[in-house]
Amino acid sequence: MARSPHPKKDIEAALRHAESQGWRVEMGGSHAWGKMYCPWNDAECRCGEFCIACIWSTPKNATNHARALRRVVDHCTAQKVILDIMRKAKG
């Protein structure tokens, strides 16, 4: 079943970016719109600290929150290692 889109367009774009990188986005939670889960959830990936990110429904600044969500995805150390391996295999 497809998830409902986030009401803020900047955050929805960040969530689509996360999903394109393999992250799982789940709606619901006690105080959040939902959460993003890293597909690797590696113990060595910064101690698992950034393997889950909360998605707020009405952040004070939606653009900054979207930027922070993208940063979590783009700076995932497990993802960087896997992408480096794939690039070396191609070249």
Q: How would you classify residue 22: left for phi > 0, otherwise alpha for psi between -120 and 50, otherwise beta?
A: left
Share of the chain above pLDDT 70, in %: 89
Is the model's pLDDT at 68 over the cut of 90? Answer: yes
Long-range contacts of 3-6 (CB under 8 A, 24+ apart): 3/27, 3/34, 6/33, 6/55, 6/57
- pTM here is 0.81
